[in-house]
Amino acid sequence: MRDQSITDDLLKGIPKAELHIHIEGSLEPELMFEIAGRNGVPLRYASVEEVRSAYHFTDLQSFLDLYYEGMKVLLNEQDFYDLTWAYLQKTSSQGVRHAEIFFDPQAHTGRGVAFETVIGGIRQALLDGERLLGVSSALIMCFLRHLSAESAMETLSQALPYREWIAGVGLDSSEVGHPPEGFKAVFDEAEKYGFRRVAHAGEEGPPEYIWQALDILQVARIDHGVRCMEDQKLLKRLREEQVPLTVCPLSNVRLRVFDSIQEHPLKRMLQEGLCVTINSDDPAYFGGYVADNYCTVRDWLRFTREDFQKVAGNSFRASFLGERRKRQLLSELETYFAS
């Protein structure tokens, strides 16, 4: 029986950070239609309802096909601004005080949209988010692992003029068959420029990919990482080094990494002493933003108040925030639970 005092409003109100959100995955069908209309981009759906009803995924790839299709409406700086601004407003209403946001430049430059158009629109919205909503943020540029290491390297050079706007680099897209080790050179290069490094690993891919991300790419965080539960030695390492794992429960169920939320290992991961955080991944596609994920684990994984305080604290501790703001947000969190 769940604790009835843990209401939706209580979970929404928890000050928290979101560390695993692909901005293109926050494109809601309504905005997709609006932008498609003004850009004259034809959609293969007749209505918003038709788009939503197409969101039945069998695995990561079946989602990625629709994800890349949907983002084709994004052409101008204003489109990237609107996309990012919509996410910030939504996530701010769910208690997010700091967001570390992924973007996929290759998914746009590959369609002829300039790098500066993409980052310019996102950047302006992030500045407005800080000013008008009090949401601080960091931007993480992801390399698409289904593309070549050369293409990733080229993307890194395109990003250098915007070095000040980008906190780190990541690795996403189709995991199986595209192990982290293939991207060693570009991650090494990114390190030289002072970029933080993270990577998706151990979502659909084996625990071995998590080892590679840690040892070969030298990442500060693992995105997903749920398959670490299959490897005792890895578990020990992750626990001892308190490597943050950005877990996305609704995403994992929608993409059939687990057949049901009841089978999700998040609670066990927490009990193992791992530094887990809860995130939305691609909220427009997976049925919920960050607090919706909090509600889901309350309902199905019996998360307690202490569990929520722990994961929200982890979200700040695992962030790339400076020490001062980190401390400020952690003390806000403490006050929230004390009252």
- Which positions lie near Zn ion, rule CB under 5 A? 281
Nearer Cβ to Zn ion (252/314): 252
- Least distance in angstroms from the C-beta of 22 to Zn ion: 6
Instruction: Report how far residue 213's alpha carbon sits from residue 181's, in angstroms, rounded to the nearest whole number.
Output: 7
Instruction: Report how far residue 167's alpha carbon sits from residue 161's, in angstroms, rounded to the nearest whole number.
Output: 13
- Least distance in angstroms from the C-beta of 212 to Zn ion: 17
Instruction: Report how far residue 107's alpha carbon sits from residue 61's, in angstroms, rounded to the nearest whole number.
Output: 15
- Least distance in angstroms from the C-beta of 46 to Zn ion: 29
- Least distance in angstroms from the C-beta of 133 to Zn ion: 23
Taking CB atoms, the residue at the shortest distance from Zn ion is 281
Asked if 16 contacts 329 with a C-beta cutoff of 8 angstroms, the reply is: no
Of the residues 24, 77, 203, 204, which is catalytic?
203
Nearer Cβ to Zn ion (120/246): 246
Is 203 an active-site residue? yes
Q: Which of 182, 210, 185, 187 is nearest to 197 (CA)?
A: 187
Instruction: Report how far residue 58's alpha carbon sits from residue 164's, in angstroms, rounded to the nearest whole number.
Output: 39
Q: What stretches of the chain adopt beta strand conformation (E)? A: 16-22, 96-103, 136-144, 168-172, 196-201, 221-224, 245-247, 276-278
Alpha-carbon separation of residue 120 from 165, 210, 226, 306 (angstroms): 10, 33, 34, 40
Nearer Cβ to Zn ion (120/221): 221
Nearer Cβ to Zn ion (18/281): 281
The encoded tokens of residue 107 equal 């998914």
Instruction: Report how far residue 173's alpha carbon sits from residue 195's, in angstroms, rounded to the nearest whole number.
Output: 20
Nearer Cβ to Zn ion (10/198): 198
- Least distance in angstroms from the C-beta of 302 to Zn ion: 25
Instruction: Report how far residue 159's alpha carbon sits from residue 163's, in angstroms, rounded to the nearest whole number.
Output: 6
What is the DSSP code (8-state) at residue 281?
B
- Least distance in angstroms from the C-beta of 87 to Zn ion: 14
Instruction: Report how far residue 39's alpha carbon sits from residue 59's, in angstroms, rounded to the nearest whole number.
Output: 31
Q: Which active-site residues does the annotation give?
A: 203
